[in-house]
Structure 1
Amino acid sequence: MPDHSAKPPKLLKHILPWKAGVLTGLTSGLVLGFFLKAIQTYSGLKVYTLLLNIDFVPWLPPTLPEYIEFVLHLIVSIILGILYIWWIQRSGYPISKGVLIGALSSLLYIPLSQLSTRVPDLFDVKAILYWLAGHLLFGVAVGVCGLVWRHNQKGDPPFRHE
């Protein structure tokens, strides 16, 4: 009978950060996308359109179906998730680094708002605040995923109920 409590092979340890990075990026990208979609639906501010906007990419058609644009957004989120897991694997502090990634990625509002006429203006304060809130939520989601991953690596439960 195989011993299921045995440690995973060394090769598996190198694969798990990739898997954790993909799951982190996918989860946080979905959180951000659904949040901004809800904001745009209820407020009319085109922050979700801004998130998915690809007007400026020369080798892509000017408009694509929403689901393809959303998949492109998730690919970017997954890349960030993989880089993030690699980063915290080496230096810790998952929550603060996740929030930092969210805050820094919110700065994309500045160039993205200038690249299309279909998105909010550079000085639309409400849109900026929703965009910032969404990206901070993204950062918290990234951080929580990283926290769970770190605790799983140690064999601890990530949240203790005492």
Structure 2
Amino acid sequence: MFYKGMVVGVISGTVLGLILKWIEQLTSKKVYTLLLNVDFIPFIGDIKWSEWIEFCFHLVIAVVIGIVFMWIQNRFHYLSSGRMLIVATFLTLPTIPLYFPLTALAIKDTPRIDDMLAFFYWTVGHILFALSLWICSFIYKSR
């Protein structure tokens, strides 16, 4: 269950990262930059990290969510696929409003806090993260 959660988290986190990177490249809205941004965190933010390391920081959060999600699926194995989609959505929902404090705290150039189009892209990316969690777990459940 722990390993499956890690894999589901890495896959879903990668999907989110790639989607936001693609959106940023197409629109110049710095949603991918915001996703990876750690410049406001004491000590960590003082270091110039490579994009890959910042992406790994993002994946740590995605893996934690993936592990919790797979634990719920394992613990409550009787839940229907539709209910597991609801669980994935509820686990992901808190990440959506994080747009506002992350934007407010960012030192580097990220979207403006009142940029509702960037917030929309951020939201879509995180909804796709939830869908990815659900799809990956559904595939794992059949194994």
TM-score of the two chains, using structure 2 as the length reference: 0.89
- Greater shift, 127-136 or 65-74, is seen at 65-74
Report the residue type matching 2:51 in the other structure. E
Percentage identity across aligned positions? Answer: 34
1:103-142 deviation per Cα after TM superposition (whole angstroms, max 9, x unaligned): 3211211210111142111110110000000000000001
2:31 is matched with which residue? 47
2:19 is matched with which residue? 35
Structure number with the bigger relative contact order (C-alpha 8 A, sep ≥ 6) is 2
For 1:1-162, list aligned pairs within 5 A. Answer: 17-60=1-44, 61-91=46-76, 92=79, 93-117=83-107, 118-152=109-143
The whole-number CA distance in structure 1 between the counterparts of 2:87 and 2:60 is 20
Query: 1:58 aligns to what SS in structure 2?
Result: coil
The whole-number CA distance in structure 2 between the counterparts of 1:84 and 1:129 is 24
Report the residue type matching 2:100 in the other structure. I
1:14 is matched with which residue? none
1:157 is matched with which residue? none
1:12 is matched with which residue? none
1:34-91 deviation per Cα after TM superposition (whole angstroms, max 9, x unaligned): 0000000010000000000001110212531111101111111111111111122223
Deviation above 6 Å: which 4+ runs of structure 1? none
The whole-number CA distance in structure 1 between the counterparts of 2:95 and 2:74 is 21
1:3-29 deviation per Cα after TM superposition (whole angstroms, max 9, x unaligned): xxxxxxxxxxxxxx0111011000000
- Greater shift, 48-57 or 80-89, is seen at 80-89
The whole-number CA distance in structure 2 between the counterparts of 1:20 and 1:111 is 31
RMSD: 1.3
The whole-number CA distance in structure 2 between the counterparts of 1:101 and 1:79 is 10
The whole-number CA distance in structure 1 between the counterparts of 2:135 and 2:90 is 13
The whole-number CA distance in structure 2 between the counterparts of 1:58 and 1:151 is 43
Unaligned runs of 5+ in 1: 1-16, 153-162
Query: C-alpha displacement at 1:95, in angstroms?
Result: 1.6
Q: Counting helix residues as a fraction of each chain, which structure ranks higher?
A: 2
Query: 1:113 aligns to what SS in structure 2?
Result: helix
Report the residue type matching 2:111 in the other structure. P
